[in-house]
Amino acid sequence: MRAGPLQSLRRADEIPHPAPKKAHARMASIDTVPRPKKSRPWTSPPAIALVGFTLLAWAALLGPAWMRVIPEAITFPVAQVVGDAINWFARDAKIGGVAFQEMTRGLATLFDYVIDATVVVLAEGLFTGRGLNVTQSVPPLSWLAIGGALVIMGYRFGGRNLALICAVSAGFLVFFGLWENAMVTLASVLVSVILAILLGLALGIWSYRSARIENVTRGVMNVMQTVPIFSYLVPTLLLFGYGPSAALVATVIYALPPMVHNTVLALKSVPTEITECGRMIGCKPRQLLWQVQLPAALGKLAVGMNQSIMMTLNMVIIASMIGAGGLGFDVLSALRKLDIGSGLEAGMGIVALAIILDRLSQAAAHRAAHGTHLKAGQRPLWQLLIAWLIFSTGLALLLTPLQAWPDAWVVSTASFWNAAVTWINREMFDLLEGIRNFALLQVMRPFNDFLGNAPWTLIIGAVAALGYALGGARLALYTTGLALFIVLTGYWGPAMSSVYLITISVSVAIAIGYPIGFWLSSRPRAQEPANFVLDTMQTLPTLVYLLPAVMLFRIGDVSAVIAVILYAIAPAVRYAMIGMAQVPHARLEAAEIAGCTRWQTLIWVRLPAALPTLLIGVNQTIMMAFSMLIIAALVGTKDLGQEVLIALNRSLVGEGIIAGLCVACLALIADGLLKAAAARASSDKKRTAE
Amino acid sequence: MKIKTIATSAAVAAMLAGPALSQAVPESDDTIKIMTGDWTSIGLQGEMMSLILQTVGYNTELVVADDSGRYPGFENGDLHISMETWQTTQLQNLEKSVATGKVLDMGETGLRGVEDWWYPLYMKERCPGLPAWEALKDCAEVFATADTTPNGRYVGGPVSWGDHDEQMVAALDLPFDIVHPGTDAAMFAELKSAYDREAPIVLWVWQPHWVTSVYEGEYVQFPQFELACFEDPAWGPNPDATYDCGKPYGWIKKMAWAGGEEKWPCAYEIVRNYQMDNDTMAALLVEVDLNGRSSTEVATEWLMANDATWKEWASCAM
Amino acid sequence: MTEALRDITPEAEAKPAADLVFECDGIWKVFGATGAEFTHAGGPDMDADALAARGWTAAVRDASFSIARGEVFVVMGLSGSGKSTMVRCMSRLIEPTQGSVLIEGEDLLAASDAELIQIRRRKMGMVFQHFALLPNRDVVGNVGFPLQVQGVPRAEREKRAREMISLVGLEGREDHFPDELSGGQQQRVGIARSLASDPAIWFLDEPFSALDPLIRADLQDELLRLQSQLSKTVVFITHDLDEAIKIADRIAIMDQGRIVQIGTPEDLILRPANEYVARFTNGVPRAKVVRAATIMRPVEGMDLTDALSVHPDDRIADVADILTKSEGVIAVKDSSGAVKGIIDRETFIQVLAGATL
C-alpha cells in the first residue's frame, strides 16, 4: 500500500468530519437519536476488555505450554495447497475449452502490442534489420517535441507556473541524459495508468450501483492494497509470461484500489441535488451517470487518478525487475554497481516524471471539473499540439541535438554524491556505528526478544481486548480472526518480527514527523517547500536511500528500519499538518484570551481537537511502513517481508501468497483498531462539544 | 542507451553484411526467449547470444527470470535459452529439471564459477594465518561487531540463494554469526563501506564478478569441496558432520527448453557452440559494471572484434 | 399574479376535477419499510411509538391534497417537518410508501421507468436550494441540458437556452461557468434551466434560502413576474412564512410529517387550525395578509360616490395610505366598479395595529 505522494491527502475521506446533512433522508427528530447512556464503568467495554485480558494473561503465563508456544498440530500447510491450486489454475484451467492461460497470454500479447506502440512513438522509433545489422528507420518523437508539448499543455492547463514546472522537469531529464529511458518508463506508466483508471472507474461505478458489489470490492481492495506486490508476482508471471505485460498487470493490480475507492467515494459525494436534478430533467440511467454524476464527481475522481498515477510510479523499480526497462532499470543497474550518485539521478528522473504527470493531470482535471473557455484568439489545444509536433520534428531533423541530446553534453552530479557518501562513510562511520549499536542492542533486540518470547495467546488476547474496548464484539472478532489466520498458516514467528520492525519504525517516524508537522502547520510559507520534499521522499525509489543506509548502518534491521522510517515519515508530517489545520479557530482564540501559553495551547486545545486526525495519521504511517516491509527485506530482515521475498526468488507461489496475506492481516488489524480509535476520539469530541 | 547502440551498429552493418545467409534460417519466426537475470554476466552473455541469433535472422527477446525460480518457465516453454547455470548453486536443480525431459543441458560455457568466503587483502595483516580457514577461529573477534561479539560477522548471500553457510559454520566450528542480506547489492554496499575505511569484513564473493577486479582480496582456503563432503559425515575435518568444506566451484552451463530443439535446430547448435573464458568475461564485466556502459554496447563491441569466432559458432546459418 | 389566480379563494377550491393538476391521496413515506411491510404492520393505523419500535421513521404521514392548474401551492414547515420528502414523493424522486399521486388524472406511481422519464421531461421542471448546476458546463450548457437529454439538436436547444437566459435577465453571461457567477445569478440559471422544456409543473425547493436577504427579495419578485407571464402550476417549498405569504395562493403547513393545515395565507392567520399554526403565524403583521374583502361589512344604502375605494383583494398594508387619508368609510369596489362593501376607519386601524380578528 505504498501510496499517494505528491498529494497531501491520501485518504481524504478518512479524515473525520461532521456527518453530511441529509435534509430529507433523516427525518428522525432529536428525541429519537439514542443518547449516550450514563456510563457504568464496570460494564463498559474497556473495563470488560481489561478484566478479560488480565485473566488471559494469567492463564497464558501459568497455564499449559500450548498457550505459550504454538502447537504444530494447529498449523496447516495451506501454502502447498494454495500453490498447487494456483499452478493448476495458471497452467491447466480451462474455460469453455480454452485454457485460461491462453486467454491471459492473448491479453498479454495485446498489452505488449500497445506498450510497444507507445514505446516506438515516445522512445525508440522504428528499426529495420536485426541483431548487429539493426538500423533506425524512423526516429521517435524528439525530446524537443515531447518536452515542448508538455510545456504547452502546462501553460494551457495551469498558466505560467505549471509551464515552468514542466519545463524544469523535462529539462532535468534531457540534460542529465535520462530522456530516452524516461520515455520508456512514461510509455508503460501511461498504459498502466489508463488501464487502472478505466478499470477502477468501471469497478467503482459497479460498486456504487450495488451495495452488495461494494461490500465485495471493498474487502478485496483492502486486501489488495496491503498484500505486497511481490507475493502475487509469480502467479502474474505464470499467467502473463515474463516481460512488460506482466509488469503492466502487476502494476495495474497495485494501482487499482485507490481508483475504485475514490470512484465510489466521488460518486457518493455528488450532491443529492445534482443527482435529483438529473432525474427530474428526465435523464436515462446512462445519461445520469455520464453527463451528470461523473462530471460533478470529477474533482474527487482526480484524487483517485492522482493516487493511481503515483502508485504506478512507485512500481517503476519493481516493474523493471520483471522486464519493463526504463528509468527503473537505470536505478537498479546503477545501484548494483554501487554508483549511488547515478542511482539518485535516475531516481530523481522518476520524481521528475511524477511531478509532470501529477501536476498536469491535476490541472487538467481541475479545468475539466470547473470548465474554462478559450480566450479570444486562442486555438484549441489539439491544434496547437499538432502544429508544435510538426514544427519541432522538422527542426529536430535539421539539428540532431534536438532529436537526441548528445552524450557529450550530458550533465552529471553523480560523482559529487558518490564522493559525499564516501566522505560521510569515512568521517562519520564511528559515530553512526555507535548510534546503530545503541539502537540495536538497547532498544531493538530487547523488544524483538520480548515479542518473540511472548506467549502467542497473550498477544492474540491483547488484540481481542483492544478490539473489544475500541469497537465492540464485532471488531474483536474481526481482529482475532485475522490474527488466528497468521497462527494457523504457521507464519507467527516472522509476523512478530514484522510487528517489531513496524512498531519501531512507526514510533520513530511519528516521534520525528509529528513535531515537524506541528511546527510546519504554523508556518504557511514553509509548507510548500516542505510538501515538495515530502513528495520527493515518497516518489524517489526507496532503493536509492536503502543502499547508503546499508553502507552506513550495515546489513540488518537498523538499515531496514531507517529505510522504513524515511518512507513512512511523510504521511506522519502531513497528517500532523492537517490535524493542526483542523483545530477550530475560535477555540484557539478562546485559549489565547484565557491566557494559555503556547505549550498549554498545544496540550489542552490543539492536540485534543486534532486527535482523530492524528490517529488516522498513525494509521496511514503504519500502512506506509507495511508497504515498505518488502523493500526492507532487501537488506536482510527475518520477517514476513523476507518470507515473501524468498518465496518470490524460489517461485513458491503458495508461500508467497500466504505470507503476503499474513502481511495484509497485520495491516488490517492495525487499520481496524486505529480507525475505531479515531472514530471514538471524534465521537468523544462531539459529545463534549454538545 | 539504444541510440548509442544504433550509432555503433549502423556503422558496422555494412561490414557484417558479408556472407549470404542460409535460406533455412530461421526455421521458425517465433521469438526465442533468452533468460537474463539479476547478475551482470548472464545479461551480457544473453545479450551476445541474442545479437548473434538476431543477426542470422531469428527473433529474440531477453526476459528477466530468477536464478532458482527459472525452472517452471523453462519446463513450460516460457523461457527458451539460458546462458548461465552455475554448478555451485544450481547443480541439483538443473539435474532435476533435465530429468523431466522438458529441459536440455546445452553444455559448458567454458567459464568456471568460483564462490566462497572472501576478504580484502588488508585483513591479512590483522588476521595472520589467512587464507587458511583455521585462522578464522583465532581472529573471529577481529571480524566482530557490537551485536555479534565475541563472534565474528560474516556477510552471506541472500537467503534464497540456497547456500549451506549455516551448516558449514557449525561443521567447522567457526565462531561466526551469519548475516543474510536480501540482495547482492546490499552485500557489496557493505564491502564498499568497509573497504573505503579499511574496516574488517569477510563476505561471500563469486566470480566472474567485477568486485574481484576492483577490490584486492582473496578467498579463504577451506577444505576443498568434493561431493562426499555434502553427503558423507566422515569426510573432512569434522568426522560427525557434512558440509565441513568450502563451497563447490565448477562449470557454468547453458540450458534450454527441450521443445526448441525441433523449432530452431540451428539456433540450438549455435548455443551449444558458444564458448567463453573467465578472463575475457571479467574484462567485459568491468566495462559494464564499472565503466557504466550498456550490456548491448559491450556485447556488440566484442562480437564485432571477434567476427570470425562467432561466425564459426553460427556456421549452420551461414 | 394574474387576476384569475387572485380569485382562488377557499370557496373557489372546489373546482371541476379536470382542472386539477395534482391529486394526492394518503401519501405516506416511511423510511426503513417497504410498502408491503408497512401495510402488513398496520399501515396508516400505526402511531409514532409503533413506528419507532420497528426502527422506522415516518417522514410523511397521510398527506392528501390537490392542486389546481395555475395555482401557487407553497409547502411550508421547519426543517425535518417532511416538506422536502413530500414534494419529492410528488415527482417520485422518492418512492412513496403508500398512497396515490395523480398528475392530470394519470397515476404517477403506476408509471414505468421509461414513462416516468417521459413525464418528467415533458411536464416537470425543478429549481433546487443549492442550484444544482453542473460545474463543467457554461450557462448555455446548463440551461440547454434538459433539451440535450431529450435529443434536441444543438442549434435549436441553444436558441431556446438563450431565450430562457434572457427571460431571467442573464444576457451577456451565456458563456460563463457556474464558478464565475454570484449565488443569485446561479439561481437565475437554475430557474432558466427548469423552464427550458416549458413544463406545466414547476417545483421550487427552497430556491432562495441559500441567498442573502436582498437578493432573495429580488428573486421573489422575479418569480412573481415570471409566474404572471407563464402561469405554471407551482409547488414551492420554503421554511420562511413571509416568503410563503408573499407568493402563495395556498399554503400547506407541515409538522412532523403531517399537513396540519392547508389554506390561503389569510386562513392561516385568521383561522389557524391549531396551536402550532397559531404560534407560527403569530408574528405576521395582519395588515400584510388581510384583504379588504375580509374585513368589509355590507353596504347599508350609503352614498359612496365620493368615498375613496379599494379593491376587495387589496391587502390592508398595501392600501394603508388610502385608508389613512379617508375621513369616514371606504368603499370596496371590484374591477367593474361594483361596490362590494365598506370598511370602517376604526376597523382598519385595528387591523393595522395588529389586533386579532
| Neighboring chain A residues of C192 at a CB cutoff of 8 Å | none
Domains C68-89+110-286 and C287-353 share a fold: no
- Which of A329-343, A478-492, C85-99, C207-221 comes out lowest in average pLDDT? A329-343
Q: Do C134 and A292 touch (CB under 8 A)?
A: yes
Residue to mutate among C136, C235, C256, with most A CBs inside 10 A, is: C136
Amino acid at B230: F
| Neighboring chain B residues of A241 at a CB cutoff of 8 Å | 63, 78
Where are any strands of DSSP class E within C104-178? Answer: 106-107, 124-127
C-alpha cell of residue C99: 398512497
Residue A33 vs residues C38, C58, C80: alpha-carbon distances, Å: 22, 14, 14
Per-residue pLDDT at A17 exceeds 90 = no
Whole-model pTM: value is: 0.81
Q: Does C145 touch chain A (CB under 8 A)?
A: yes
Q: How sure is the predictor about B23, in pLDDT bands with cuts at 50, 70 and 90?
A: low
List pLDDT tens digits, range B216-242.
Answer: 999 999 998 888 888 888 888 888 888
Average pLDDT, integer, range C82-111? 92
Average pLDDT, integer, range B274-298? 86
Contact yes or no, B with A (3+ CB pairs under 8 Å) = yes
Q: Does A91 touch chain B (CB under 8 A)?
A: yes
CB B79 within 8 A of CB B33: yes
- Among all residues of chain B, which has the CA nearest to that of A180? B1
Please give the pLDDT value at position C330.
82
Q: Do C57 and A271 touch (CB under 8 A)?
A: no
Distance CA(B100)–CA(A485), nearest Å, equals 36
Q: Do A645 and B64 touch (CB under 8 A)?
A: no
Q: Does A24 touch chain C (CB under 8 A)?
A: yes
Distance CA(B61)–CA(B63), nearest Å, equals 6
- Among all residues of chain A, which has the CA nearest to that of B299? A132
| HSE-CB for A457 with a 13 A CA cutoff | 20
List pLDDT tens digits, range B102-145.
Answer: 999 999 999 988 888 999 999 999 998 888 998 998 888 899 98
Please give the pLDDT value at position A43.
67
Q: Do C82 and A27 touch (CB under 8 A)?
A: yes
Name the burial class of residue C23, with classes exposed (0-12), middle (13-18) and buried (19+) by CB atoms within 10 angstroms of its CB.
Answer: middle
List pLDDT tens digits, range A42-51.
Answer: 667 777 778 7
List pLDDT tens digits, range B80-102.
Answer: 999 999 887 788 788 888 998 99
Q: How sure is the predictor about C356, in pLDDT bands with cuts at 50, 70 and 90?
A: low
Per-residue pLDDT at A1 exceeds 50 = no
Calculate how close chain B gets to A74, using CA atoms only, in Å.
Answer: 27
Q: Do B181 and A555 touch (CB under 8 A)?
A: yes
- Among all residues of chain B, which has the CA nearest to that of A321? B64
Against chain B, the chains showing at least 3 CB pairs within 8 Å are A
Per-residue pLDDT at C14 exceeds 50 = no
| Neighboring chain A residues of B61 at a CB cutoff of 8 Å | 243
Q: Beta C72-76 vs C233-238: how paired, if at all?
A: parallel
What CATH class does C287-353 carry? alpha beta
Please give the pLDDT value at position A35.
44
Size of interface A-B (CB pairs under 8 A): 180
Distance CA(A334)–CA(A345), nearest Å, equals 10
Please give the pLDDT value at position C3.
39
Calculate how close chain A gets to C117, using CA atoms only, in Å.
Answer: 5
For B22, phi then psi, to 5°, come to -60, 140
Mean pLDDT, rounded, of chain A: 83
Please give the pLDDT value at position B6.
37
Please give the pLDDT value at position A36.
46
* Top-confidence residue, A135 or B165: B165
Q: How sure is the predictor about C35, in pLDDT bands with cuts at 50, 70 and 90?
A: confident
- Among all residues of chain B, which has the CA nearest to that of A335? B185
| Neighboring chain B residues of A337 at a CB cutoff of 8 Å | 210, 289-290, 292
Please give the pLDDT value at position A131.
66
Please give the pLDDT value at position A376.
67
Give A678's contacts (C-beta < 8 A, 6+ positions apart): A14, A16, A611, A612, A613, A615, A616, A619
Average pLDDT, integer, range B184-190? 86
When CB atoms are compared, the residue of B51, B146, B183 closest to A131 is B51
Going along chain A from its start, the domains and CATH numbers come out as 143-369+387-408 (1.10.3720.10), 429-454+493-689 (1.10.3720.10)
Write down the domain spans for chain C. 68-89+110-286, 287-353
Distance CA(C216)–CA(C182), nearest Å, equals 13
Please give the pLDDT value at position A7.
39
Please give the pLDDT value at position B12.
40
Q: Do A27 and C59 touch (CB under 8 A)?
A: yes
When CB atoms are compared, the residue of B79, B159, B190 closest to A555 is B190
Calculate how close chain A gets to C313, using CA atoms only, in Å.
Answer: 36
Please give the pLDDT value at position C251.
94
ipTM exceeds 0.95, yes or no: no
CB A244 within 8 A of CB A324: yes
Task: State the fold for domain C68-89+110-286.
Answer: Rossmann fold (3.40.50)
List pLDDT tens digits, range B238-270.
Answer: 888 888 888 888 889 999 999 999 999 999 999
Per-residue pLDDT at B57 exceeds 80 = yes
Q: Other C-beta atoms within 10 Å of C333: how many? A: 18
Q: How sure is the predictor about A661, in pLDDT bands with cuts at 50, 70 and 90?
A: very high
Q: What is the largest CA-CA distance in chain B?
A: 69
| Neighboring chain B residues of A655 at a CB cutoff of 8 Å | none
Average pLDDT, integer, range A497-518? 94
Amino acid at A186: L
Average pLDDT, integer, range A2-20? 39
Please give the pLDDT value at position A685.
62
List pLDDT tens digits, range A123-181.
Answer: 777 777 666 677 777 788 888 889 999 999 999 888 899 999 999 999 999 999 898 88
Task: DSSP for B126-151, please give it.
Answer: HSEEEEBTHHHHHSGGGG--TTTTTS
Please give the pLDDT value at position A24.
39
Going along chain B from its start, the domains and CATH numbers come out as 2-12+24-112+252-317 (3.40.190.10), 114-231 (3.40.190.100)
When CB atoms are compared, the residue of A180, A440, A551 closest to B189 is A551
Listed residue (A177, A134, A139, A244) closest to B1, CA to CA? A177
Distance CA(A312)–CA(A249), nearest Å, equals 11
Q: Does A337 touch chain B (CB under 8 A)?
A: yes
Residue to mutate among A277, A374, A378, with most C CBs inside 10 A, is: A277
| Neighboring chain B residues of A321 at a CB cutoff of 8 Å | 38, 64
Report how far apart the first and last C-alpha atoms of chain C are (Å, whole number): 26
Give C59's contacts (C-beta < 8 A, 6+ positions apart): A24, A27, C29, C30, C31, C82, C85, C86, C257
Q: Do B179 and A556 touch (CB under 8 A)?
A: yes
Where are any strands of DSSP class E within chain C? Answer: 20-31, 57-68, 72-76, 98-103, 106-107, 124-127, 201-205, 233-238, 250-255, 258-263, 309-310, 330-333, 339-343
- Among all residues of chain B, which has the CA nearest to that of A334? B292
Q: Does A242 touch chain B (CB under 8 A)?
A: yes
Q: Which of residues 48-77 of B touch A (CB under 8 A)?
A: 50-59, 61, 63-73, 76
Name the burial class of residue A375, with classes exposed (0-12), middle (13-18) and buried (19+) by CB atoms within 10 angstroms of its CB.
Answer: exposed
For A324, phi then psi, to 5°, come to -90, -15
Q: Does C125 touch chain A (CB under 8 A)?
A: yes
Per-residue pLDDT at C114 exceeds 80 = yes
Per-residue pLDDT at A274 exceeds 50 = yes
Please give the pLDDT value at position A588.
86
Per-residue pLDDT at A226 exceeds 70 = yes
List pLDDT tens digits, range A401-422.
Answer: 877 788 778 888 888 888 888 8
Against chain A, the chains showing at least 3 CB pairs within 8 Å are B, C
Q: Does C257 touch chain A (CB under 8 A)?
A: yes
When CB atoms are compared, the residue of B16, B73, B292 closest to A242 is B73
Please give the pLDDT value at position C94.
92
Average pLDDT, integer, range B38-61? 89
Please give the pLDDT value at position A323.
65
- Among all residues of chain B, which has the CA nearest to that of A322? B64
Report how far apart the first and last C-alpha atoms of chain A are (Å, whole number): 37
Amino acid at A590: A
Q: How sure is the predictor about B4, in pLDDT bands with cuts at 50, 70 and 90?
A: very low
For B146, phi then psi, to 5°, come to -55, -35
Q: Which of residues 164-203 of B touch A (CB under 8 A)?
A: 179-190, 192-193, 196-197, 199
Per-residue pLDDT at C147 exceeds 90 = yes
Q: How sure is the predictor about C69, in pLDDT bands with cuts at 50, 70 and 90?
A: very high
